[in-house]
Amino acid sequence: MRIIPAIDIIDGKCVRLSKGDYDTKKIYNENPLEVAKSFEAHGIEYLHLVDLDGAKSSRIVNYKVLEQIASKTNLKIDFGGGLKSDSDLKIAFENGANQITGGSIAIKQPEVFKSWIQQYGADKIILGADAMNEKVAISGWLEESKEEVIPFIQSYQQEGIQYVICTDISKDGMLEGPSFELYQRILDSDLSNRAESRLKLIASGGISTFDELPKLAELGCEGTIIGKAIYEGRITLKQLENYIINK
């Protein structure tokens, strides 16, 4: 299972929210590059970078942070937040994103999102299926759609999607443990019967202790995104380094 630390950006600074509420913003570091370099120094290869300003606006905002981290580390970055047009996608890839995550656009402009899958391929496009009460949330989690999360994922599997990040918003930033049961049901509902195209589910939200990581791996999660647990010292970078070395 891949370990994917998260850096969420507001005003160019590294922050965390609780349950996606912008009013709960806590700044952890004013230099995201410094944080990214500390991840890389501990053997981490991947980074989940979220443009929270972009998620609330109608366009990508913090692409300079993306460019800085991509040019000064070897981290493979998946970038999300505010990707609403072909030009946003172009900016993200030109500034060093290895993959992009689309959530709101997959609900609001499905034809555009489907065209991205066709144009860039399933290895470059991640479906963001962030859920509150198992309904997909959009626009920086400020809106709840009517789409139920499992049928939503299945509909995009039929369009070729393989990578899915699922965040249970009620768990996000709460350090109360992830949604094991939801992830189990998502994996059980995988439509693919071929190993090479099976669902690559990335768990996100609520990770609070190191012991949860082997459990997520056992479920069959392809990766896990860890945010506040790192910043609050619940999981150390040394623990993650040892996990990566020994897995």
Q: Which residues are catalytic?
A: 8, 130
pLDDT for residue 237: 98
Tokens of 2: 């891949």
- Per-residue HEC secondary structure of 117-177 comes to HHHHCCCCEEEECCEECCEEEECCCCEEEEEEHHHHHHHHHCCCCCEEEEEECCCCCCCCC
Strands of the sheet with 131-132, listed across from one edge: 131-132, 135-138, 143-148
What pLDDT score was predicted for residue 146? 82
Average pLDDT of the chain is 92
Q: What is the pLDDT of residue 244?
A: 96
According to the model, what pLDDT value does residue 10 have? 95
Pick the range with the lowest mean pLDDT from 132-146, 170-184, 221-235. 132-146
pLDDT score for 140:
53
* pLDDT category of residue 169 using cuts at 50, 70 and 90: confident
* pLDDT score of 144: 65
pLDDT at residue 129, as a whole number: 92
Answer for the pair 106, 139: CB distance below 8 angstroms, yes or no: no
Q: Label residue 188 by pLDDT band (50, 70, 90).
A: very high
pLDDT of 194 > 80? The answer is no
**What's residue 187's pLDDT?**
96
Q: What is the pLDDT of residues 98-133, one digit of tens each?
A: 999 998 899 989 999 999 999 999 999 999 998 888
Q: Which of the listed CATH numbers 3.30.565.10, 1.10.3080.10, 3.20.20.70, 3.40.449.10 matches domain 2-246? A: 3.20.20.70
Quickly state the pLDDT bin for 83 (edges 50, 70, 90). Answer: very high
30-34, 149-153, 173-177, 182-186: segment of lowest average pLDDT: 173-177
User: In the chain, pLDDT over 90 holds for what percent of residues?
Assistant: 75
The Cα–Cα gap between 223 and 201 comes to 7
Tell me the pLDDT band of 141, cut-offs 50, 70 and 90.
low
**Rounded mean pLDDT, 76-91:** 94
Mean pLDDT to the nearest integer, 65-92: 96
Q: In this structure, what token pair is assigned to residue 25?
A: 């913003």
Which of 18-22, 119-123, 198-202 has the weakest average pLDDT? 18-22
Q: Give the pLDDT of residue 65.
A: 97
Q: What is the mean pLDDT of residues 43-66?
A: 93
The whole-number average pLDDT for the span 123-149 is 82
pLDDT band at 142 (very low <50, low <70, confident <90, very high): low
Q: Extract the tokens encoding 83.
A: 């990707």
Cβ-count burial of 211 within 10 angstroms (0-12 exposed, 13-18 middle, 19+ buried)?
A: exposed
